[in-house]
Amino acid sequence: MDRIAEFLFEAMLLKRVHRTGYQFLGPGKESVAEHTFSVMCIAWVMAQLKPEADQKRLLAMCLVHDLPEARMGDINYVQKQYVTADESAAVSHLTQGLSFGNQVSELIDEFNARETLEAQLAHDADQLAFLIDLKSLSDMGYAAPPKWAHHIQERLETSVGMELSKSIEKTEWDSWWLKIFS
């Protein structure tokens, strides 16, 4: 049980690991744990729209997809031009001694390979979480986010991801609130 407690402390560290891509946007910030919550919410919705997907596997994959960042930090696209992280070693070390370690490792490998429907949906949920943040910032008047949005949309792999992207693009971030208010 001690090893499991250590694993949980390590996973909770993601609440304090900040995503680094936001420094290019100016406003906005997010921890990796906050990002994971967003990805899981989106993936759950996507599973409702794609009932053939294994919902439990999809959500588990989204939960663990960024766990290695507790050891490596969040490396953005610019940093990846200069720094190479050893994600395999991070996954191996963080799962070592855990009875469920192979399951965590397999889910991360599947996410990275993006060959299964669940991995493709998880990847799209990961991208859509960022797209929602960009759209929210844009709707609040920040100029930088719109120039990044199309790059995110180009990364989408599933029809449901692309369809959600179009709806996100045309929906104002506070439309749900305005409907209640007015």
Q: Could you say which architecture CATH assigns to the domain 2-181?
A: Orthogonal Bundle (1.10)
Tokens of 17: 């690991």
Confidence at residue 109, expressed as pLDDT on a 0 to 100 scale? 98
Confidence at residue 107, expressed as pLDDT on a 0 to 100 scale? 98
- What pTM did the predictor assign? 0.94
Confidence at residue 29, expressed as pLDDT on a 0 to 100 scale? 85
- Regions in the chain scoring below 70 on pLDDT: none
Q: Checking phi first, is residue 114 left (phi over 0); if not, alpha (psi -120 to 50) or beta?
A: left
Phi and psi angles of residue 111, each rounded to the nearest 5 degrees, phi first: -60, -45
In terms of DSSP H, where are the helices of 13-158? Answer: 32-49, 55-64, 69-72, 87-95, 101-113, 117-139, 145-154
